[in-house]
Amino acid sequence: MTERLRYQVKDQLQRPVRDLRISVTDRCNFRCTYCMPREVFGPGYRFVPRSELLRLEEISRIANIFAGQGVRKIRITGGEPLIRRDLERLVEMIAVIEGIEDISMTTNASMLTGQRARSLHAAGLKRINISLDALDEKTFQRVNDVEFPVGRVLQGIEHAQAAGFDSVKINAVIRRGFNKHSVLHLADHFRGTGMILRFIEFMDVGSTNQWQFDEVVSARQMADIIHAEFPIAPVSPNYHGEVAKRWRYLDGAGEVGFIASVTEPFCGDCARARLSAVGKVYTCLFATKGYDLRDLIREGASDKALTRRIHTIWANRVDRYSELRSRTSATVNRTQRVEMSHIGG
Ligand SMILES: C[S@@+](CC[C@H](N)C(=O)[O-])C[C@H]1O[C@@H](n2cnc3c(N)ncnc32)[C@H](O)[C@@H]1O
Ligand code: SF4
């Protein structure tokens, strides 16, 4: 192992940085009500102009420096990452960074053609997570709010499966009053397919989605709904710090997961940094403040200077928002919080 790969920065709570989520765009073709509600992200909303987005070379340079601080996994996200042209080139650039062991992407799959899935896989993308919150047309369109047909996402999922990724996972956010009935539909549809379905609790990210605690369907409640129809039992985690709680179907139809970020927060193990599309580093999904790297890069900073900056950002990190939230059960002032579409899920 090289000297560089032995190094691991730790934050103030002794947490390493292992994962980097990279948002490649703040734009999306969907207006999911819990993420980019159209009342806020409608006509007139000012998306980031192209010149302000990080260029692919800038992104891979930052990823390289993070790898030197201990990052081993990269996830590409957005907004909707497939909106960004040349994503394959970015994946290729990241795939050759020393220390990076895994590259994955989170997408709504609406633009995932067979060709795109194959070229991303060939470029080095190993895993893909596809967001799908309902199977019935009415609910799905109510969630995406752009009348996007569910059949086209199901096609995208087929393309992902055919392209040969190491894993294709399906992520579903469940919000009471919108799609609670989808828990059973989705479980029934994906069990036995080899794809792992993960249910995500509706989170109070950003400041625009009108989050209310009573709209959260807890992981426990979702597991109970499934268990009543398809008995399941818990499975031990794949690795320390795994975010999704794993359960298996007792009839051998595979696994299902739950991400209980609201009711069972996992800040203690959080080793995740986020890079926004404009080059700000966020050390927590619920952060109000990002640390800019783009200006530093465009002013000609050396790798050494960038490394120092990234090291300092992580070494000073103290965030554990979700744990504090559940202790006080209060909604902390949300007005300044960064939106999910800027830093990815
Ligand atoms: C912000 S999206 C970006 C990638 C891509 N557009 C997609 O939908 O997969 C990433 C993930 O965040 C999830 N998400 C967005 N807002 C959320 C919220 N308020 N609570 C829980 N998950 C949320 C989405 O469902 C999606 O699975
Ligand atoms: S969850 Fe993904 S698909 Fe939905 S609006 Fe947000 S970024 Fe777009």
Give the long-range contacts of residues 290-298, CB within 8 A, separation 24 or more: 290/338, 290/343, 293/62, 294/52, 294/54, 294/58, 297/58, 297/61, 297/62
Provide the residue type at 189 as one letter.
Answer: H
Distance in Å, CA 32 to ligand 2 centroid: 6
Segment 71-100 mean pLDDT: 97
pLDDT at 67 over 60: yes
User: For ligand 1, what atom is nearest to the CA of residue 202?
Assistant: 20
pLDDT at 27 over 90: yes
Distance in Å, CA 59 to ligand 1 centroid: 21
At 239, the pLDDT band (50, 70, 90 cuts) reads: confident
Distance in Å, CA 340 to ligand 1 centroid: 7
- pLDDT tens by residue, 98-149: 999 999 999 999 999 999 999 999 999 999 999 999 999 999 999 999 999 9
Cβ(77) – ligand 1 distance below 6 Å: yes
Confidence at residue 261, expressed as pLDDT on a 0 to 100 scale: 85
3-state SS of 119-135 is: HHHHHCCCEEEEECCCC
Q: Which of 35, 146, 197 to mutate to test the pocket of ligand 1 (most atoms within 8 A of CB)?
A: 35
Q: Which is nearest to 255 in space by CA: 191, 174, 200?
A: 191
pTM assigned to the model: 0.94
Percent of the chain with pLDDT over 70: 95
Confidence at residue 2, expressed as pLDDT on a 0 to 100 scale: 80
Cβ(345) – ligand 1 distance below 6 Å: yes
At 286, the pLDDT band (50, 70, 90 cuts) reads: confident
Residues facing 127 on adjacent strands = 104, 167
Q: Is the dihedral of CA 59, 64, 70, 74 positive or negative?
A: positive
Confidence at residue 330, expressed as pLDDT on a 0 to 100 scale: 46
Confidence at residue 264, expressed as pLDDT on a 0 to 100 scale: 83
Distance in Å, CA 232 to ligand 1 centroid: 26
Segment 196-218 mean pLDDT: 87
Confidence at residue 285, expressed as pLDDT on a 0 to 100 scale: 83
User: For ligand 1, what atom is nearest to the CA of residue 203?
Assistant: 20
User: For ligand 2, what atom is nearest to the CA of residue 36?
Assistant: 5
- pLDDT tens by residue, 290-318: 999 999 999 999 999 999 999 999 999 98
Confidence at residue 334, expressed as pLDDT on a 0 to 100 scale: 56
